[in-house]
Amino acid sequence: MSQFFQIHPDNPQLRLIKQAVQIIDQGGIVALPTDSCYALVCHLDDKDAVMRLRRIRGVDEKHHLTLLCRDLSEIAQYAKVDNRQFRMLKAATPGAYTFILEATKEVPRRLSHPSRKTIGLRVPENQITHALLEELKQPLLGTTLILPDEDEPLTDPELVRARLEKQIDLVIDGGACSLIPTTVIDMTQEMPELIRQGRGDAALFGL
């Protein structure tokens, strides 16, 4: 049975943030709000938690999971970013974008795309998520909360609780989120490529 925390979206309670991080450190799966949809997240280095997350989401190892990072410097730890890419990322972070970049050796091999050695990364503009990342002091591994065989993400924390309380460890109620997921930009080639149009304005990348 999952726990349910109501956390203030603008002034997250540190006590609850610390408890949430403890759950993540112990291998828990957490549903949390972002600046786009609700997401399922777990600890980057916990293999069992990552497998559970993929099972709940109904995706295999070819599906890009996303590293939720605190800032650009943390992105640069886990992805190879040149000066041109850095300038574009700086203009779009934090925000509702997911970037596909070439993974560095810091990324466990099981997390990068098996054939392309790429990883999805983002810097969310959400106070609750940011507080968790600051307390954890490393990225969270996440995916949009869309259940298997469904097209729409879950955006109501009470509904998330009703649907997933026996499968995940914590639901964070930070208010309702958008139905629109992040805009996904592939930056592994010379020119950015739009993979999915979402909340973020692709015009920032000339797309």
Is residue 152 scored above 90 in pLDDT?
A: no
Is residue 62 scored above 80 in pLDDT?
A: no
- Give the pLDDT confidence of 116-130 residue by residue, as tens digits: 788 999 999 999 999
- Closest C-alpha to 198, from 171, 177, 172: 177
How far CA 42 is from CA of 16, 23, 65, 113, in Å, comes to: 17, 9, 11, 18
* pTM of this structure: 0.93
- At 111 the pLDDT is 74
Is residue 107 scored above 70 in pLDDT?
A: yes
- At 115 the pLDDT is 65
